[in-house]
Structure 1
Amino acid sequence: MTKEEGSPSNVSNNEEEIVAKERVSNVPREVADAKQKTIQNTVQSLVDRVKKARNSNRFSSIYTAPSRLRDLNPSLFIPRVVSIGPLHKEKLNLKSTEARKAAFVNELLSEIGFIDETLHNCVQKVYDKIERIRGCYDGMKKTAYNDDEFTQMMVMDACFILQFISKLSGSGNLLSDNRLRSRSIALDLVLLENQIPFFVLEDIYESTINKLQSRPSLITMLSNLLGYINPFTDCIKMDNIGTETTHDHILGLLHKVYLPKLPNSSTISVLPTAHSAVELDKIGVKFRPKDEKIWPLSIDFQSSSHKPTLRMPVVVIDNFFEVVVKNLIVYEQYSPVYNYVTSYAMALDMLVDSPADIAKLGESDVLVNHLGSNEKASDMIKNICKDVTFLDFYYIDSWKRMDTYYDSYWSKCIGVLKQKYFSSPLTAVGLLAGIIIFIVTVVQLPFQIKQS
């Protein structure tokens, strides 16, 4: 009888080969099976994590600033008066505000009435989305707060924010009891690490203030808040914020205020040539407040052989400027959003190389320095972009035109004239006197010739 493939003798031979291989490798079958099981479990765990991330369909929008930027100045990200959300909840210096926070919430609920029913609605809405809310916080351990503690935190913080901005909207001014404290609270509410998801704020608004008659929309109320920490003299406008637009949080809303109506990418491989304000002034460039209202951060170079002008937003340099801009920069660096604020900060950094540049921009009425010295303002601007990655620069066209003018023949002539004849009042007076003498001489020359 002929041996065929798959016959008992072949099966026996195959088993002998397997046993022989196991003996050679000196690995028992039980160990090999256990290893395969471990690998399979690891693969399944990775698959579950990937599916969970895909199903969540969101990134963590509230997080601690990365250490390479945070360590430069941690105080820029730490709330001074009030904690919002879980990331700074246990800070001892903020505990005293918790009683104040409860008083605000009591005022809000008392005005609405039906306290038990209102709180029930608020708690229910938070509980229904608690996993989604937790997913918005990066780096927070799930065991840090149980569901009850976490829900209470969200409801209290959202109610506090709503009552605070309601008071701002009603009075049209900062709270009269302590203006500095109130402005500090307003600043705390735009810190990246001190946020609650915007959809939580919307849900609590619908269950509270929206029940009252003749109350402004949530976006309108927040515009008053953002106006107090806005570092630019132009008023905050919400024209670009559509009602159908979603926001990550209050800081994300502020970020959208500074975007143009039609944002677009502006990827660059290298940064443009930097020219300081003093260098540009030497070749005749003037600095003027922007006259275009569509984009709050617009900077435009208008080239002209007679009046080259750089138009830019009027900015107030103070401690609030550094906090607001730095938090917006970090938000842009680590979130899938446009980098317009980072571009603005870089443009300002290129214009300011020394205290003399601060003085020049101040004289031109495009910068207001509240820090007490030009040196402090210069140092602040130079440090604000330290260790920041630049992928986009939305002023590249203006900077290219400015660089072209800087290298032009006409600008060099202006520079030589200013340096030689207008470098000081004395030389300018000397030049003027020389011109007058020359004109008088030319006028008198025909009479002298006639007399002779």
Structure 2
Amino acid sequence: MIQESVKRLLHHVNNEDNHTRQFPPSIYMAPSIMRDLSPSSFNPLLVSIGPLHREDENVKAFERQKISYLINLMSRINSPQEDILDSCMQKAYSVMNEIKGCYIWTKTFTDAEIAEMMVLDACFMLEFMIEMNPLFHRNSYMGKEPQFDTIMHDLMLLENQIPLFFLDEMFQCTVMKLRSDISFKQLIKRVIVCNNLFEARLKFNNVSFGTNDHFLSLLHKCYMPPDNIKKDHTNTIIRSAIDLDRAGVKFKPSKDPTWLMGMEVKQNRFPCFFWSWNRPTLTMPVLFIQDSTEFLFRNLIAYEQSFQTQSYVTSYGFVMNMLVNTQDDVAKLEESKVLVNITGSNEEAANMINNISKNVSCVDSYYEQELEILNKYCNNYWPKHIATMRRTYFNSPWRIIALVAGIILFVLQALQTIFTIKS
């Protein structure tokens, strides 16, 4: 029994695929502890890219439509279609080991099946991006087709990716023969920038990509902090947006931030004894809450939880989870113009923000310094007691009315006492 176990383990150790990997796999199933909370955030709705969802029933119908995209792409190029497809397939076989090394496989496919799958998916993606790109004359999408948003959604899923280096190879074999003046980066740019979570523009032109990259990892790189942003161990817990507001903290949108997800606490540099003159301001990126927000956050965080990369999106999610407890917190951030809720329901937005960090670990924080400044301010005498008073007496119209009535009654009684003494 021991010998049989040793043989099985040796088989895994000596597996050819494990020795041909130059980089850790970057395309895989999301961790089950995250997937079980929201399977719909990870499953493609319409189109399967790559092998992980190839057998899903809901994507099989679109496989026929991929052929039409392939035909459209071939018809654009002034070369024999057989020659174009031959060069594509040769390229697929020449980088087969690199393609295999990008995935954690859930089913066994032959090299021929992998090559055909990759070429078809890559050509579909290229034609889709051509059709929605104003740089090309013949556009059929331009955001008007019903399938447009669904395809854009599916192209950003962690489990639904194609290696970017191979997509670039297919670009060289096809699109470059059509328009040599357009770069691969120009073609794919719109897919990335259309999936931005924030109001500020993505600095996509500064992003570089390597062998293990794909569309989701490119979006992740667009949010990368600069080198001077230091991470620290997560140990500070702050109050919600409403409680911070009661203590005197203001919220403002970031203006031209060096880091798209950056937050900064701004305070007066001189000592002040008047609470209202010394209130800090937390500047934040303007976050859009819309239909795509939850699945993008979940896929970016799942990517961070499983791949050897920095967890700055997870860190941002933890801060937002602390700031938002109820729909009142969402309303306060909306009022401060640091959050735009397109869904319309503050309660749904609050639930989404609270849920994206569930079952997720966050060891490092990129906001620890800012959180400590806010905590120190809120624990000072005046902010602490004023926040308590506002929470106790000013958190509802009836309590305000009761407080005002009590003050008026006290003043009237005091006046009555004074007049009685004088008389």
**Using the alignment, how far apart are the partners of 1:103 and 1:263 within structure 2?**
48
Deviations 1:311-350 (A, max 9, x none): 1111111221000010000000000011011111111111
Name the structure 1 match of 2:25.
Answer: 60
Name the structure 1 match of 2:379.
Answer: 407
Name the structure 2 match of 1:308.
Answer: 280
Question: Is 1:252 aligned to 2:217, yes or no?
Answer: yes
Name the structure 1 match of 2:90.
Answer: 124
**Using the alignment, how far apart are the partners of 2:3 and 2:210 within structure 1?**
47
Deviations 1:233-278 (A, max 9, x none): 1222214313x7555211111110111232766241x431121000
**Using the alignment, how far apart are the partners of 1:117 and 1:70 within structure 2?**
42
Judge conservation of contact 2:304–2:314 (CA < 8 Å) in 1: yes
Judge conservation of contact 1:174–1:183 (CA < 8 Å) in 2: no
Judge conservation of contact 1:287–1:310 (CA < 8 Å) in 2: yes
Question: Is 1:360 aligned to 2:332, yes or no?
Answer: yes
Write the letter of the residue equivalent to 1:384: I
Judge conservation of contact 2:232–2:365 (CA < 8 Å) in 1: yes
Residue of 249, 252, 256 corresponding to 1:288: 252
Question: Is 1:220 aligned to 2:186, yes or no?
Answer: yes
Judge conservation of contact 2:163–2:211 (CA < 8 Å) in 1: no
Name the structure 2 match of 1:236.
Answer: 202
Question: Is 1:370 aligned to 2:342, yes or no?
Answer: yes
Judge conservation of contact 1:240–1:260 (CA < 8 Å) in 2: no
**Using the alignment, how far apart are the partners of 1:364 and 1:180 within structure 2?**
34
Residue of 307, 317, 332 corresponding to 2:289: 317
In terms of fraction of residues, the more helix-rich structure is 1
Name the structure 2 match of 1:135.
Answer: 101
In the TM superposition, what are the counterparts of 1:13-412 in structure 2 within 5 Å?
Answer: 45=11, 48-49=14-15, 53=18, 55-114=20-79, 115-142=81-108, 145-170=109-134, 175-176=141-142, 178-213=144-179, 215-242=181-208, 245-262=210-227, 266-268=231-233, 270-304=234-268, 305-412=277-384
- The one of the two structures with greater contact order (alpha-carbon pairs below 8 A, sep at least 6) is 2
Judge conservation of contact 2:17–2:101 (CA < 8 Å) in 1: no
**Using the alignment, how far apart are the partners of 1:176 and 1:208 within structure 2?**
21
SS class of match (1:255) = helix
User: Any unmatched runs of 5+ in structure 1?
Assistant: 1-34, 435-452
**Using the alignment, how far apart are the partners of 1:56 and 1:264 within structure 2?**
32
**Using the alignment, how far apart are the partners of 1:90 and 1:47 within structure 2?**
29
Name the structure 1 match of 2:411.
Answer: none
| Length-normalised TM-score, structure 1 | 0.79
Write the letter of the residue equivalent to 1:147: D
**Using the alignment, how far apart are the partners of 2:123 and 2:362 within structure 1?**
38
SS class of match (1:170) = coil
Could you say if the C-alpha distance between residues 191 and 407 of structure 1 is closer, same or farther in structure 2, counting changes exceeding 3 Å? same
**Using the alignment, how far apart are the partners of 2:362 and 2:284 within structure 1?**
20
Write the letter of the residue equivalent to 2:337: D
Write the letter of the residue equivalent to 2:171: Y
Name the structure 2 match of 1:31.
Answer: none
SS class of match (1:412) = helix
Judge conservation of contact 2:192–2:218 (CA < 8 Å) in 1: no
SS class of match (1:341) = helix
Judge conservation of contact 1:80–1:94 (CA < 8 Å) in 2: yes
**Using the alignment, how far apart are the partners of 1:81 and 1:121 within structure 2?**
29
Shift of 1:391: 1.6
Aligned residues: 395
SS class of match (2:364) = coil
State which structure, 1 or 2, has the greater radius of gyration over its C-alpha atoms: 1
Could you say if the C-alpha distance between residues 171 and 323 of structure 1 is closer, same or farther in structure 2, counting changes exceeding 3 Å? farther
SS class of match (2:97) = helix
**Using the alignment, how far apart are the partners of 2:214 and 2:101 within structure 1?**
14
Name the structure 1 match of 2:417.
Answer: none
Shift of 1:209: 1.2
**Using the alignment, how far apart are the partners of 1:424 and 1:36 within structure 2?**
71
User: More displaced, 177-186 or 75-84?
Assistant: 177-186
Write the letter of the residue equivalent to 1:102: I
Could you say if the C-alpha distance between residues 196 and 42 of structure 1 is closer, same or farther in structure 2, counting changes exceeding 3 Å? closer
SS class of match (1:301) = strand
Shift of 1:389: 0.9
Identity %: 38
User: More displaced, 196-205 or 173-182?
Assistant: 173-182
User: More displaced, 166-175 or 387-396?
Assistant: 166-175
SS class of match (1:319) = coil
Could you say if the C-alpha distance between residues 292 and 271 of structure 1 is closer, same or farther in structure 2, counting changes exceeding 3 Å? farther
Name the structure 2 match of 1:16.
Answer: none
User: Any unmatched runs of 5+ in structure 2?
Assistant: 269-276, 409-423
Shift of 1:177: 7.4
Shift of 1:105: 1.7
